[in-house]
Amino acid sequence: MAGSAPGDEPALFFPVSSDSEDDTPVPTSSKLTSTKPPTSSVEHSAGPSSYVSKNGAEASPLFFGSPEPETVPASTSYKSPPKRPALSRHTSSQRSKSVPSDFTGYLGEFVCEGWSLSKGKGYCVPGSKVVFERPKPKKIVEETSSVVEKIGPARLVNGKMVHSKAKSMAGKQVTLGSMGVGKKATVVPKKPPSKPIVDQIIRFRNDRGFEIGRLSVGEAGFLVHLLDTGVIELRGHVIDCPPVLSTGATILLNVKVYLTAKAFEQVDKDGREGVGTFWQEQKETEEEEAMRKRKDALGLLFGRIGVKAIQSNALLMAQKKNGSAVINEASLKHFAARASSGANTPSRRSQSPSKASSSGSGKGKTKDKGSARNSDDDEGEEDSGDEAERLDEEQMNEIDTIYRKAQMGDTKLEETDPPSTFLYTLRPYQKQALTWMRAREKGDESVREQSLHPLWEEYAFRTEHAAGEPITIVDDDDEIDPGRKFYWNPYSGELSLTFPTSKTHSKGGILADAMGMGKTCMMASLMHSNRVGDVPAESPAADPDGEPDAKRPKFKQVTLSNQWRAVATAPKTPSVAPRATLVVCPVSLAAQWHEELGKMGEKGSMTSMMWYGNERQDIDRILGQEGKKRVDVVITSYGTLASEFQKWRKIKDKPSYEGGSIYDHEFLRIVLDEAHNIKNRTALVSKACFELKGQRRWALTGTPIVNRLDDLYSLLHFLRLEPWGHYSFFRSFVTVPFLNHDPKALNVVQYILESCLLRREKTMRDKDGRLIVELPPKTLDVQVLDFSRPERQIYKRLEDRAKRRFIQLDAEGKAMSNYTSILAMLMKLRQCVDHPLLVLGKGANEEEEGDRLLDTANGDATGSIKEMIAMYAGGVDAKPPGESGTETAYALKVLKEIGESEDSSECFICASEIFDEVLLPCYHRGCQDCIVNFIGSCEDKGKPANCPICGQGPYKAMDLRSVQRRRKRLNPITGARAEDGDEGSVSLGKVDLVSSTKLRALVRKLETMRMEEGDFKALVFSQFTSFLDLIEPVLTKAGIQWLRFDGSMSQAQRAATIDEFGKKSKDPVILLISLKAGGVGLNLTMANHVFMMDTWWNEAIEQQAIDRVHRLGQNKSVYITRYIIKGTVEKRIMKIQRSKTALVNASLSGGAQRDKSATLADIKKIFGLDEEDSEDEVY
């Protein structure tokens, strides 16, 4: 953190004691001169004066750190208690040992050049000590410093010593540096990120206080930040210099570098547990910037001095027994390089959301400025970064590989039986999950072996022989005195004196079993198994340090966090162990959770309660109930949580706030179902989840990574898995390297997943080689259909116009700015594929552009599409109900014939049983589709459409009459053909042409199934509820029972619908579901047929939909039928679906602004503009 959080009030980090002795102005006194107040890094030997003392001027330096630094009480004083707790936040945790304030560790020395800024003799000779200084940033605590600034540095002018006033700039000798001091210091506010510029000058003076010169730019560059933040101290002496200095003369210096206590302390982000506001977005970005600078600077410094790691991650990793994830040093270096280059981006990205978000105080704003500065240079890359971040197919495959690797050991997990109160029988793999989950909750890492923290390197302080100060002499060969060791994380820039293990603070994890494997069930078994939490006083979150203690007894790890907790948390929470589990799930699943929890447990063993909606009860009361009414599980929805969060955030800091929010409760366990709901870390709902208090945290999701690695970050953040839950960290180690196609990134991901994620797939096998889940087979049938003629005409017209419009926009360069209207046009096309009538309906969205397509405005003489559709819809009705006299006679004749010739019910065109039977005026019969098609094709060829059988005609579609015979409804296979002579029930009607190809195909299929199977349950998915509207009456007409499930229904209605659908029925029941409302989570295993009426952008969504049926509990074969119309956008959508590219995501996120550019190409693809149209290739 050095500098980092700092931004805020650096003062917080200064030892209290130092305040008083701040800057003594230019001591002209002889001896040691710590002169400038301003430098935070004054020479160690400097006098007691300056505030440098904190660094050990007086206190004798502890070069090697006492093995057991006594820091306990001191540590609290380091920071003022969390008035603004968020500030204290930090990344990695373990090594949060506090260090005595007077600590310094000798790092090494290097030789460098300086330039003289003075003229004359007597400033220095080889061997004379020099003191380095930096302009001191103005700090509120140190008002006195302003005095110094006014006075300015002392210097010799022509042999006299002068205090030049910086502002007056007396004389030529006013150096740039000193000017800088005056100006900068005043500019620098207490929040460094808003500093417009930091000067890069490090001046040095002799031990009498006279300024000699400055370090060369190259050297100063990386030291500046470190000095300013007090991470290092420099001491030096002159090696060589001209006897008489002239301005610009070269002075050769030897510089010794010491790490100060600050270097180790500040990076302490403990105490977070007790602190609610801790996870605010803007914090991270601010911190990020500082950490990055520090990291870069330290890296350079180490390189400059030649400090080498004694032990680095490669070794650590190699020691791991199963060594599967060897991250070698080189690759990590590689990483680091990339990471730093990309580090700017995140800070910027995260800004806008955080700013917009509620908590955007003044802080957020300053930060904006700050980070804007450092992202100047990568401005242009920003967008491309966004695009690239998405995982392409290949990368997703790699992720799969990782999952697989991370799962390798899992088949060996023990099986644990759930307690008897849990009624379901778990499958073996579910029992294994229980073992794992219980272990995770206990914090027992041994169940799955843990890797050592891969990102740290071990270093040792050198012995400083010259100094003649107390030195512990250690044989460097083997065991280095642990006291001399320190650890550096070259990726985050953090330093530590304690051994960083990869142990996590979090209890819980990600249960990422594939869909339909019973995650709910496993979680329920866990709830039954582990019912009581820890008493908060010794809250589990506090003890992670316990284990390292055992391992490395030399380091007593009294942490700040312990201190905090005692103060901050304990008084608040009653010392009753939390018992309740909070389940957060999509609203559509709430009822299901409730119901299943009820079914799975012995009666009364586990009570759950749904908590959402407007009339939700007071959470305090619910959780306060004891005895029979006690509530073990509270089920709420993401939406409810988000609104609670918003409420709470507004009032929590007001003095009048009395608690009572869900955020004031500590839960035993928090479970996020369908946890990918929080994949966007800046979304309100995600924040709402992050802030929940719970001892154990679980994320359930079948897709921990949806389409970016950052998705995973959000989950880790929720789990509080250190250090990965820290954004800059995750970004630098995972996201950025991954974007750079550095395969090592995957090692890190794997490492992370190994530690906290359990994933099994349906295809996995247990140790005996059996499939862990045996699901009935699933058959996918893609029905490629052909438009009827009128449909194709309408579609073609629509498509042509859309294409033309797009080309026009594209040519004018306006395609991107008309992005939404292009999406609207595409929407029209997709609707048209389902049913031409949909095109006329208005969706919820703006569809002006889409509508414009329908008008003639484009100078298209052939009539508007609206008219065409009207014709289509009007079709037969348009014909006057003709000559009724003949009509009747005709009908009678035909009826008789049909009654007599019941056998020949095969269509002469399609050779199948006649579907939607129609009669030609010559009494010849066929399927409506076939005959209409035939007539159409004849018209196309300009041939008379004569009856194919008898040659009479020509006929038109309007001449057809549809035949309805009730008899056909009966089952011909079982022979239950009730031929009770009711041939009379044959009737003729007008031909209903107002249907669509897909709709007819669906009904046809359902009718066939009804004959073959009798009773069955089927789901019909469409993304357009308006299409569902059109399906309803057709089903009704066909006498098929249907139910409807869509987003407009209340939770109660949904539950009732599902309930109804689940009831036993002798007849087929169809559930019409909108893809968006019903695609997720629902358990609909009572059905075994799925019809996908249209194609959605993202295949995963469709997969989810199918998994409603093909999941645990399904014991019939599952049949999926997908309807696609030949030669339409659907084919191209499917192509894009496969390549999972940008548009998919853009559409998913509701046409997110920033995704636009890459989508252009996709849109072109959809319009078929980028390729020769390989229409017949597949469809």
Positive or negative CA dihedral for 4, 10, 12, 17? positive
Report if residue 915 touches another protein, rule: CB under 8 A: no
The residue type of 1014 is G
Among 617, 625, 937, 1036, binds another protein (CB under 8 A): 937
Closest to 328 measured CA to CA, from 753, 744, 751: 744
In the complex, what is the shortest distance from the CB of residue 954 to another protein, in angstroms, rounded to a whole number?
A: 13
Residue whose structure tokens are 């060829």? 941
Report if residue 59 touches another protein, rule: CB under 8 A: no
For helices 865-874 and 789-811, the axis angle rounded to 10 degrees is 160
Question: How far are the Cα atoms of 4, 558, 563 from residue 73, in angstroms, in the given order?
Answer: 24, 10, 8
As beta bridge partners, residue 636 has 584
The residue range among 53-61, 219-227, 530-538, 931-939 that interacts with another protein, by the rule CB under 8 A, is 931-939
d(CA 386, CA 349): 10
Backbone angles phi, psi at 959, to 5 degrees: -75, -10
The residue range among 250-258, 281-289, 563-571, 930-938 that interacts with another protein, by the rule CB under 8 A, is 930-938
The secondary element (H helix, E strand) that includes residue 215 is strand 211-215
d(CA 372, CA 366): 10
* Strand-strand pairing, 1069-1074 and 495-496: unpaired
**For residue 723, cis peptide bond before it (omega within 30 degrees of 0):** yes
Q: Which two tokens stand for residue 1100?
A: 């995963």
- CB nearer to another protein: pick between 308 and 943: 943
- CB nearer to another protein: pick between 661 and 783: 783
Among 358, 912, 1050, 1117, binds another protein (CB under 8 A): 912
Among 875, 948, 1062, 1168, binds another protein (CB under 8 A): 948
In the complex, what is the shortest distance from the CB of residue 931 to another protein, in angstroms, rounded to a whole number?
A: 9
Contact partners, residue 755, CB within 8 Å, separation at least 6 = 448, 450, 451, 502, 504, 721
Report if residue 780 touches another protein, rule: CB under 8 A: no
Number of residues that bind another protein (CB under 8 A): 20
Closest to 222 measured CA to CA, from 202, 241, 197: 202
* Strand-strand pairing, 1041-1045 and 986-990: unpaired
Among 373, 1126, 1135, 1164, binds another protein (CB under 8 A): 1126
In the complex, what is the shortest distance from the CB of residue 328 to another protein, in angstroms, rounded to a whole number?
A: 50
Report if residue 904 touches another protein, rule: CB under 8 A: no
Burial of 907 (0-12, 13-18, 19+ CB in 10 A): buried
Report if residue 911 touches another protein, rule: CB under 8 A: yes
In the complex, what is the shortest distance from the CB of residue 952 to another protein, in angstroms, rounded to a whole number?
A: 12
Report if residue 239 touches another protein, rule: CB under 8 A: no
Closest to 719 measured CA to CA, from 489, 433, 1080, 437: 437
In the complex, what is the shortest distance from the CB of residue 733 to another protein, in angstroms, rounded to a whole number?
A: 48
**Helix/strand/coil for 254:** strand
Burial of 1176 (0-12, 13-18, 19+ CB in 10 A): exposed
In the complex, what is the shortest distance from the CB of residue 1009 to another protein, in angstroms, rounded to a whole number?
A: 16
d(CA 1110, CA 792): 34
- CB nearer to another protein: pick between 310 and 938: 938
Among 141, 162, 474, 784, binds another protein (CB under 8 A): 784
Among 174, 606, 930, 1106, binds another protein (CB under 8 A): 930
In the complex, what is the shortest distance from the CB of residue 755 to another protein, in angstroms, rounded to a whole number?
A: 48
- CB nearer to another protein: pick between 106 and 934: 934
The residue range among 49-57, 201-209, 660-668, 942-950 that interacts with another protein, by the rule CB under 8 A, is 942-950
Among 78, 645, 733, 934, binds another protein (CB under 8 A): 934
- Outline where DSSP puts E strands in 861-924: 917-919
- CB nearer to another protein: pick between 498 and 1121: 1121
In the complex, what is the shortest distance from the CB of residue 941 to another protein, in angstroms, rounded to a whole number?
A: 9
- CB nearer to another protein: pick between 882 and 972: 972
Report if residue 908 touches another protein, rule: CB under 8 A: yes
**Helix/strand/coil for 1155:** helix
Report if residue 933 touches another protein, rule: CB under 8 A: yes
Report if residue 910 touches another protein, rule: CB under 8 A: yes
- CB nearer to another protein: pick between 482 and 926: 926
The residue range among 472-480, 520-528, 947-955, 959-967 that interacts with another protein, by the rule CB under 8 A, is 947-955
Report if residue 121 touches another protein, rule: CB under 8 A: no
Report if residue 189 touches another protein, rule: CB under 8 A: no
The residue range among 242-250, 494-502, 933-941, 1060-1068 that interacts with another protein, by the rule CB under 8 A, is 933-941
Contact partners, residue 1164, CB within 8 Å, separation at least 6 = 810, 1170
Residue whose structure tokens are 């704003």? 365
- CB nearer to another protein: pick between 843 and 948: 948
Report if residue 1179 touches another protein, rule: CB under 8 A: yes
Burial of 1155 (0-12, 13-18, 19+ CB in 10 A): buried
Residue whose structure tokens are 């090494």? 108
- CB nearer to another protein: pick between 322 and 904: 904
Among 951, 984, 989, 1113, binds another protein (CB under 8 A): 951
Largest pairwise CA distance in the chain: 131
Question: How far are the Cα atoms of 727, 952, 1118 from residue 378, in angstroms, in the given order?
Answer: 19, 76, 51
- CB nearer to another protein: pick between 1126 and 1164: 1126
* Strand-strand pairing, 154-157 and 961-965: unpaired
Report if residue 909 touches another protein, rule: CB under 8 A: yes
In the complex, what is the shortest distance from the CB of residue 1116 to another protein, in angstroms, rounded to a whole number?
A: 24
**Helix/strand/coil for 906:** strand
The residue range among 46-54, 248-256, 331-339, 948-956 that interacts with another protein, by the rule CB under 8 A, is 948-956
Backbone angles phi, psi at 818, to 5 degrees: -105, 30
Among 140, 330, 780, 949, binds another protein (CB under 8 A): 949
Report if residue 952 touches another protein, rule: CB under 8 A: no
d(CA 988, CA 558): 90
Backbone angles phi, psi at 219, to 5 degrees: -75, -40
The residue range among 441-449, 719-727, 847-855, 905-913 that interacts with another protein, by the rule CB under 8 A, is 905-913
Among 465, 621, 943, 966, binds another protein (CB under 8 A): 943
Closest to 38 measured CA to CA, from 130, 146, 127: 146
The string over 595-615, giving b where at least 16 C-beta atoms fall within 10 Å of a residue's C-beta and e elsewhere, is bbbeebbeeebbbbbbbbeee
Site for another protein in 1149-1178 (CB under 8 A): 1176, 1178
The residue range among 227-235, 520-528, 602-610, 945-953 that interacts with another protein, by the rule CB under 8 A, is 945-953
Question: Which residues form the interface with another protein (CB under 8 A)?
Answer: 783-784, 908-912, 930, 933-934, 937, 943, 946, 948-949, 951, 1126, 1176, 1178-1179
